[in-house]
Amino acid sequence: MAGARILIVDDDHKLVDLIRLYLARDGYRVLVAYDGRQALELARHKQPDLIVLDLMLPEVSGLDVCRTLRAESEVPVIMLTARTSEDDKLVGLDLGADDYITKPFSPRELMARIRAVLRRASQQEDEGPPQMQAGSLMVDIPRHQVTVRGKQVYLTPTEFRLLETLIREPGRVFTRLQLVERVFGPGYEGLERSVDEHIMNLRKKIETNPARPVYVQTVYGVGYKLNEKTYE
């Protein structure tokens, strides 16, 4: 998606300059912020197509920036983190980040992640009907819209791809690995467990009681499916 506007948010000026160099070389337009407050201002006024967001920021933390962004928009977010534990990596996903990458990282790997997230955000599959319904849940593929009981809900690109994958084949059980391959693409090196975090966030938005989901159901020891029989 050459020409997309990318916002880089990190207080490491040398790292920002390096990422900006790679992005510009690939034809992206680049915005830069060195603290969380500036990041929110640019996100609101410039409306970037994707944000690369460091976890540890001055003024406003990366987690708080991500939390605020998710309340205001569906812009894709790739979280940068120097933390290495699995739980730390999942914190950003729980707040609605679409992907994460751990420092230190290869700029080429970050470019690949950016291309993948932008592709998921803009992808519109031609197969199957443009609108699919499961009870009071309606998914409009071309418009990238989801409504539940007539009320629109706002999903991240990753959450939308997960729901789209499940609703295209209701009743089919997908393993976590299959969902990773469908949603993130082959060769994704992130945690399979990240699927659980995205499913949890999806349930919070489409289920009346996320603790007792009606639509997206867990098949223990296997993965997830969209319930094809009983809806609200």
pLDDT for the residue 87: 63
Q: What is the DSSP letter of 172?
A: P
Length of the chain: 232
Tokens of 20: 């900006």
Read off the pLDDT of each residue in 64-75 and give the average, rounded to a whole number.
Answer: 87
d(CA 53, CA 97) in angstroms, rounded, equals 9
Q: Where are the domains of the chain?
A: 5-122, 131-226
Average predicted confidence (pLDDT) for the chain: 85
Q: What is the pLDDT of residues 190-218, one digit of tens each?
A: 666 788 888 998 999 999 999 999 999 99
The yes-or-no verdict on residue 55 having pLDDT over 50 is yes
Geometric angle at alpha carbon 225, from 197 and 154, rounded to 5°? 50
Tokens of 216: 């997206």
Domain range 5-122, its CATH number among 3.40.630.10, 3.40.720.10, 3.40.50.2300, 3.10.20.600? 3.40.50.2300
Tokens of 115: 């291309």
The yes-or-no verdict on residue 231 having pLDDT over 60 is no
The yes-or-no verdict on residue 127 having pLDDT over 60 is no
The yes-or-no verdict on residue 125 having pLDDT over 60 is no
pLDDT for the residue 124: 47
CATH architecture assigned to 131-226: Orthogonal Bundle (1.10)
Read off the pLDDT of each residue in 114-138 and give the average, rounded to a whole number.
Answer: 74
Q: How confident is the model at residue 126 (pLDDT cuts 50, 70, 90)?
A: very low
Read off the pLDDT of each residue in 136-156 and give the average, rounded to a whole number.
Answer: 87
Read off the pLDDT of each residue in 20-30 and give the average, rounded to a whole number.
Answer: 93
d(CA 179, CA 182) in angstroms, rounded, equals 5
Cα–Cα distances (Å) from 33 to 38, 98, 162, in that order, read 6, 20, 31
Tokens of 47: 């409306």
Read off the pLDDT of each residue in 122-149 and give the average, rounded to a whole number.
Answer: 76
Global pTM exceeds 0.75: no
Q: How confident is the model at residue 85 (pLDDT cuts 50, 70, 90)?
A: low
- Please give the radius of gyration of the chain, using alpha carbons only, rounded to the nearest integer: 18
Q: How many helices (H) and strands (E) does the chain have?
A: 8, 12
Higher pLDDT, 1 or 35: 35
pLDDT for the residue 56: 87
Q: Are 158 and 99 in contact (CB under 8 A)?
A: yes
